[in-house]
Amino acid sequence: MSDRYGAITGAGGRIVCISVDSPLRNAALINKLKLPFPLLSDPDRSGAIEPYGAADTTDKRNIARPATFVIAPDREVVFSAMSRDYADRTQEEAAVAALVELDLSPTTAEPLDIGPAEPGPSAMIVETMEAYFRGAMYAVRAMTGRHPSVADDAADFIAQMNRYVKLSKELSEDG
């Protein structure tokens, strides 16, 4: 969603992300992806992941599943979307549309200080991300040829991978 942040702040919104990872790993992810918003740590999932129903109960690593909520300044939830799994799109366009509906004054990105950072042992480096997303896209395209019944889901996934390929390339070129 970072590539849509201008539209989000222009509509009076800001982003905060949450995962089970430690602050050190989150700082590394912000640095790697040049994220313009904070990333919070909920290691035992009790603070927000479980209360928001975003715990992935099928993954042994006790992580969150992708989910998006839009919360108005009066704390009303005006939009929510829960992914079925990591292949689902996170309905970012619909979230931004819900934000626009609030008709708020524009805001700006908040200052973001990044302290010490330490990527996890399995963290992907920027230089490999483009090839990774491109490979995922081609694999799904091939599988769709074998299983036409998943064409709609596959088209969404391929569109998402295309966007990630572009973003990965930009990140890599930015150094």
Per CB under 8 A, does 172 bind other proteins? Answer: no
* 166 Cβ contact partners less than 8 Å away, ≥ 6 residues apart: none
b/e burial code for range 99-133 (CB count within 10 A of at least 16 → b): beebeeeeeeeeeeeeeeeebeeeeeebeebbeeb
Rounded to the nearest whole angstrom, what is the least distance from the CB of residue 145 to other proteins in the complex? 27
Q: Could you tell me how many residues of this chain bind other proteins (CB under 8 A)?
A: 67
| Residue 30 sits in the site that holds other proteins (CB under 8 A) | yes
| The only residue of 7, 10, 36, 52 in contact with other proteins, by rule CB under 8 A | 52
Cβ distance 18 to 48 under 8 Å? yes
In the set 17, 87, 94, 126, which binds other proteins (CB under 8 A)? 17
What tokens does 91 get?
């309905």
CB of 68 to other proteins, least distance (A): 5
Please tell me what DSSP assigns to residue 122.
Answer: T
Q: Binding to other proteins (CB under 8 A): which residues in 144-163?
A: none
28 binds other proteins, rule: CB under 8 A:
yes
What are the C-alpha distances in Å from 70 to residues 17, 51, 88? 12, 15, 18
Candidates 60, 73, 146, 175; binder of other proteins (CB under 8 A) is 73
With contact defined as beta carbons under 8 Å apart, do 102 and 74 qualify? Answer: no
Binding site for other proteins (CB under 8 A): 1, 8-9, 11-21, 23, 25-30, 38-42, 47-49, 51-52, 54, 56, 59, 61, 63-78, 86, 90, 95, 99, 102, 104, 107, 113-115, 117, 119-120, 122-124
